[in-house]
Structure 1
C-alpha cells in the first residue's frame, strides 16, 4: 500500500451492501412460490447457483452483450431448470420478477462495517466514492435504502456501456473522485473483476475476501493468484480496511 493514498473507491454489491443476504431472501421467496417440491435443505444450493452464475450471464451484461432483464430472466430459467421447476419464459417472467425483485428490494441492508468505514475513511482525509457494475438508478436506490446515500455513485455500467474490469471504469472513477490513479485505492469483493482489474488500470487494488462469502463456480478466488497479479492487500472486512488505511499518510 503506498503511503500517499488520496482516495478510496468502493464497490457496492457485497462490499458496502449485503447483496448476498438480499439474494438469499429472494431465492427463498422463489422457492416457496415456484419450487416447493425442493427440500428446504437444498435452498442454500439454489442461492449458490444464483450467486455463482456459472454460465456468466451477468458478466455478459457487464460486457454489453445482454440487457439487464434478459440476463436476469436467463438466470431465473437456469435456476428453475436445475431444480425441476417450470421454465421462465418471456410470458411468465413478469410474475416471477414480482416475487424475486420485490423481496430483493425489501431486503437491502448495509454490511455492519460499511457505515463506520465510510466515516473513518473521510475522517482520515480521504475522498470516497462508489464504482459499480450495475445501473445508476438501481444503485442509488440501494445505497439510500441501506443508509449510505451520502456515498456518491461515480461510475456505473451505464457510463461506457460496459463494466469492470474495463480499465476505463476505474480510471473514470479516479478522475471523478479527483485523485490520481496511483493514489486511488479500489476495494471490491470479486478478485478478478475488482482488485486485479483495478491494478491493471493503474490503481491500488484491494480484495475484500469476507469469510464464507466466496462464489465458487469458476470465479477466481485464490490469494496466491491475487499476490501474483499485484494485489498486495487482502482484507476480511471493511473494518480491517479502515485500520489499514489509518496507517496511510495522505500528502
Structure 2
C-alpha cells in the first residue's frame, strides 16, 4: 500500500465510509455483462471482441452525463439514454428513440441487476473493521434504494447505505454529502476515511471535506477519459492510494483482514 501515510502514534480512525460501485461491488463486471447483452441486440454487426471497447466508452462517459445527474441537472433516464445513444453513434448503430430506449433499458438493466457481486476482498475487510469496533457505512452517487438492493444482492446487506444522490438532491464531490454521511455514521470527519475508486469525486473530494481520502486504484479498473488517475499526483495531494481493500487496515490503524499486523504505510 502507498499513500500519505498514518501519523505514527496517532489514534486509529473511528469510521470508514465506502463507495459502492467498483469499490465494494464489482460493478464494472456487471456493466460488462449488460453491455454485451445490449450490444448483441442493438449493435449486432459489431464483433464480440469489440464489446470491451463499448464498455470502456460507457465507463469513461466522456461528456459527463452521469456527473450532470449527480449535480441534479438532469434526471436518471435522460443521462442514461444520452449515454446509450453515444454508444450507438460511436459503434455504427441506429440511434434509439423513446420506444427503443425502453427496450434497450429493460435488457441492459435486467442483465446488470443479475450480475451484482462483491469483490473477494470486500467481506474480509468489513469483518476486520467490525471486529476492531470501527463504524462502517456507505456513501454513493446513486439512489439509496438501488444501492441498498445492490449491496444486499452482493451479500453486503450489513453495510448501511447512509447517503445517496437522492438524500440531499446532489452527490459527490459536494462536501455537504460527506458531512451528512459522517453525521449519520456518528463519527468525526477528521477520524473517518472515505474509500472510493474515483480519485477526484471520491478521494480528493473527501479530503477537501475534512475526511481521510482513500483512492482504491484496483489493477485494470481505471475509467480513462476525463477522469484524473495519476497515483503520484494523488499521493502528493495527501490521498492514500490502495490497490486492494486488504491494504485499508494500515490506513485505519487496525489488524489486517488476515489477522496479521497491518503493513506500515509508505
Q: Aligned with 1:154: secondary structure?
A: strand
Q: Which residue of 1 aligns with 2:55?
A: 47
Of 154, 158, 163, the match for 1:155: 163
Q: Does the 8 Å CA contact 1:208/1:235 hold for their aligned counterparts?
A: yes
Is there any run of 5+ residues in structure 2 with no aligned partner, and where? 1-5, 256-266
2:144 is the counterpart of 1:136: yes
2:239 is the counterpart of 1:206: no
Give the Cα–Cα distance (whole angstroms) in 2 for the partners of residues 244 and 6 of structure 1. Answer: 11
2:173 is the counterpart of 1:165: yes
- Taking structure 1 as the reference length, the TM-score comes to 0.95
CA RMSD in angstroms comes to 1.2
Give the Cα–Cα distance (whole angstroms) in 2 for the partners of residues 220 and 199 of structure 1. Answer: 15
Q: Structure 1 residue 244: deviation in Å? A: 4.2
Is there any run of 5+ residues in structure 1 with no aligned partner, and where? none
Deviations 1:170-208 (A, max 9, x none): 111111111101000000000000000000000000000
Residue correspondence of structure 1 range 10-159 to structure 2 within 5 A? 10-159=18-167
Of 228, 233, 239, the match for 2:246: 239
Q: Which residue of 1 aligns with 2:225?
A: 217
Q: Does the 8 Å CA contact 1:124/1:246 hold for their aligned counterparts?
A: no
Give the Cα–Cα distance (whole angstroms) in 1 for the partners of residues 81 and 107 of structure 2. Answer: 13
Q: Does the 8 Å CA contact 1:77/1:89 hold for their aligned counterparts?
A: no
Q: Aligned with 1:118: secondary structure?
A: helix
Q: Does the 8 Å CA contact 1:131/1:173 hold for their aligned counterparts?
A: yes
Give the Cα–Cα distance (whole angstroms) in 1 for the partners of residues 34 and 92 of structure 2. Answer: 18
Q: Structure 1 residue 225: deviation in Å? A: 1.9
Q: Structure 1 residue 73: deviation in Å? A: 0.7
- Taking structure 2 as the reference length, the TM-score comes to 0.90
